């Protein structure tokens, strides 16, 4: 039943493979109108297969930055539409390729790699790396809130930035790294060749296969047409 049950998140490795496919194809064919149609179809396809939140988050950022650089390319090339199209497609390929990656949780990717018996150093390093950004954002927010509570002043002041922001932030990150090392050791993570099991496995679903098949079909049609 799990093979045909709808799920809102893609199988991690399929999501990564599709991101690479979108990125490479988009950059290679950026100068063509067909690329624009493919990117639009890929965006709608991701929206349909459960990545609608990520699609909505990426869209305004693409409109702002992609629009700015597209206009720059248009006027820098002497009002050349082809140059503007190529720039818009390149940005579109990058931003749309980010969407599948945004839909993957760090834990899900770690489970998936562990199922495939990937070396523990890689899985552990990926888990820590992907988890670090949210932790860093949270600590920056806490330090900024503490500065506001104490009336430390503007973070743009070099002295205030160093004493009231940078030093507390680095101290917090050092403490977090010590806690993380202890947590990993307590939970039995080792880099040696030891047997282990995965409690909750990531399973390839029919919707994952349909998603990947549709994306490949789009690439083939774009090349043929």
Beta carbons of 94 and 30 less than 8 angstroms apart: no
Looking at residue 1, its pLDDT comes to 45
Q: Give me the residue label for tokens 């893609």.
A: 10
Q: What is the pLDDT of residue 220?
A: 93
Which residue stretches of the chain have pLDDT < 50?
Answer: 1-2, 4-6
Closest by alpha carbon to 95, among 33, 39, 14?
A: 39
Q: Which helix (H) or strand (E) holds 35?
A: helix 33-48
State how far the Cα of 90 lies from the Cα of 23, in Å rounded to an integer. 8
- SS3 for 54-90 is HHHHHHHHHHHHHHHHHHHHHHHCCCCHHHHHHHHHH
In the chain, domain spans: 12-104+203-224, 119-186
The predicted-structure confidence for 26-58, as pLDDT tens digits, reads as follows 999 999 999 999 999 999 999 998 888 889 999
């Amino acid at each position: 039943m799990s093979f045909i049950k709808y799920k809102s998140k893609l199988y991690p490795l399929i999501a990564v493979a599709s991101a690479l496919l979108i990125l490479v194809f988009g950059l290679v064919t950026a100068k063509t109108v067909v690329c624009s149609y493919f990117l639009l179809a890929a965006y709608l396809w991701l929206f349909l297969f459960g990545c609608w939140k990520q699609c909505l988050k990426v869209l305004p950022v693409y409109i702002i930055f992609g629009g700015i650089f597209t206009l720059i390319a248009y006027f820098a090339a002497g009002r050349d539409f082809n140059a503007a199209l190529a720039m818009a497609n390149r940005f579109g390929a990058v931003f749309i390729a980010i969407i599948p990656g945004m839909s993957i949780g760090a834990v899900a990717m770690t489970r998936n790699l562990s199922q495939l018996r990937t070396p523990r150093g890689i899985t552990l390093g990926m888990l820590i790396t992907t988890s670090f950004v949210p932790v860093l954002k949270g600590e920056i927010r806490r330090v900024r809130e503490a500065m506001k509570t104490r009336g430390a002043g503007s973070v743009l002041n070099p002295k205030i930035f160093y004493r009231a922001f940078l030093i507390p932030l680095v101290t917090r990150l050092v403490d977090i790294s010590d806690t993380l090392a202890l947590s990993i050791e307590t939970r039995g993570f080792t880099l040696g060749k030891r047997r282990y099991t995965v409690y909750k496995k990531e399973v390839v679903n029919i919707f994952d296969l349909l998603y990947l098949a549709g994306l490949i079909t789009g690439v083939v049609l774009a090349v043929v047409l």
